[in-house]
Amino acid sequence: MPQLNPVDAERLAFAESWIAQDPDPETRAELAALVEDARAGDPAASADLADRFDTRLAFGTAGLRGEIAAGPNRMNRVLVSQAAAGLAGYLLEHAHPGTTPSVVIGYDGRKNSAVFARDSAAIMAGAGVRAVLLPQMLPTPVLAFAVRHLGTSAGVMVTASHNPPNDNGYKVYLGGGDHGSQIVAPADAEIAAHILRVAESTTVPELPRGDFETAPESVIDEYVRQTALVADTPAAQPRAVYTAMHGVGWETAARVLAVAGFDAPAVVDDQISPDPAFPTVAFPNPEEPGAMDLSFARARTAHAELVIANDPDADRLAIAIPDAASAEGYRRLTGNEVGLLLGWRAARRAAAAPGDAGLHGTLACSIVSSPGLEAVARAYGLDFQATLTGFKWISRATDLVFGFEEALGYLVNPETVRDKDGISAAVAFLSLAAELKAAGKTVADHLDEFIERFGCYASAQISLRVTDLSRIGEIMARLRAEPPAAVDGIRVERIEDLADGFGALPPSDVLRIVLEGGGRIMVRPSGTEPKLKVYIDAVGTEGSIAERRAAASDAVARIEAGMRELIG
């Protein structure tokens, strides 16, 4: 047996103590084998242990998210148990004297989601929190709804949304004055501190467990009823295809569409039921290349006028429409295109709302989403707010009417759900398509109408996936130290660094590059994946629809080429 240095010996002792408290036989066995290999001098095993045990998955405003495996830098029953106990401690600390805090917990169809949810419910109940578990695997928006509907102090959703198959995560919402929105600072740091105290002082078997409640099916019924109200009574029935991307969206979405008066869409059979292996897609994310290929094939046989895709936890929505120029016969709309059409719909509905108080309300989007929403708000006399990325910020916009972000997230019914909701957004978009069809128009026609009225807002995105996270920091540091004077010959008017906050925006690791002619570039690290993201926008407002589209797309292409050269 090789001689171990003190650091390796301490790490191995930590790993063995982890095994001793891990209730999951699969991760226990996996870690035991890794420890044995490391003790035998296997350098790969030692490096793997270092990656797992030299740091923890950080708990932040996005909660927790990571690969399912043993160790504090992975998602597993030990880490989730510590998170549940820490969240319970936070809720008890912040409860009004003499009251019992409460939490509602939901889960999707990913590996270990149900186990993580039940562990959380039992541990939080054991800590003295009233814990309510949703009655079955459900979409994330149903959990976000349940926080408000049940009036709980907090909510937890066990999901990794559209991450790779072996990932899972832990999203936290707060009730009360937070109105069911996801956590923001300083709550994230306070919860993280509680979690760390639990991890340093208590083993998982020592955590008391208690009895938790199961929410009644009426919670789901009420979500269905209120979400169906997003649609107008359909004046026509667009032929639609739906895919759940192997997730949990279909059962709830089907009920909502039926109550709203829509015919049942054709479905992508191979993707309609929950399957944690996600066998037909490389990444279960409608944005990824190839993810919607089966949807397009089904749409061709159904002669569909609309393709509707939810991601696995159904908080995101992708839309595709017929396009003769595409080899597949269909084109997925960008998140910005869907967001601008839904924002325009929301503005028209606000203008048509009864009452004599005058038009009011706010259209909101993230700073990396299309600036076209501000043009819509301005045209209708509504307020506009640009927020940091994430619905934890968008949902907090004052007097919110509608919010969106370009990553296929839309909030169309803020009085019901204070988070992105791919089901309510699907109902809203299908309602728009029905209205257009009744008028003899298509979604493509409506996109042209938008360009004619507001201008053509084109966008593109560079998503640089890395294996070494330090590379992202190096690129951001270089752009700050050596800011470009031009991008592909287009002059840079100014660069706004949001690191210390900017205007009403809190500090964030974002650079905003404003170009001559109305172009804009946003550069930021992803909050949930090992990626650097670059968001590019340009606008064409002069000439015909075709000329506006050409001007905007040409500008975007030039900016994208220039930025690819800059970031390497």
Active site residues: 161
160 within 8 A of 167, measured Cβ to Cβ: yes
CA 517, CA 280: separation in Å to the nearest integer? 43
CA distance 520 to 568: 19
Helix (H, G, I), strand (E, B) or coil at 6: helix
Count the Cβ atoms, other than its own, within 10 Å of residue 264: 10
Whole-number Å distance between alpha carbons of 451 and 456? 5
Asked if 378 and 312 count as a contact pair (C-beta separation under 8 A), the reply is: no
- Length of the chain (residues): 568
Give Cβ neighbours of residue 32 (< 8 Å, ≥ 6 apart).
19
Distance, CA of 407 to CA of 389 (rounded, Å): 10
Residues 6+ apart with CB under 8 A from 370: 336, 339, 340, 406, 457, 459, 537
> Do the Cβ atoms of 427 and 227 come closer than 8 Å?
yes
Q: Are strands 486-487 and 490-497 parallel, antiparallel or unpaired?
A: antiparallel
User: CA 235, 440, 412: angle at the middle one, nearest 5?
Assistant: 55
Tokens encoding 333: 């709309």
Query: How would you class 261 by CB atoms within 10 Å of its CB: exposed for 0-12, middle for 13-18, buried for 19 or more?
Result: middle
Q: Where are the beta strands (DSSP E) in 418-481?
A: 456-465
**Token digits of residue 429:** 């978009």
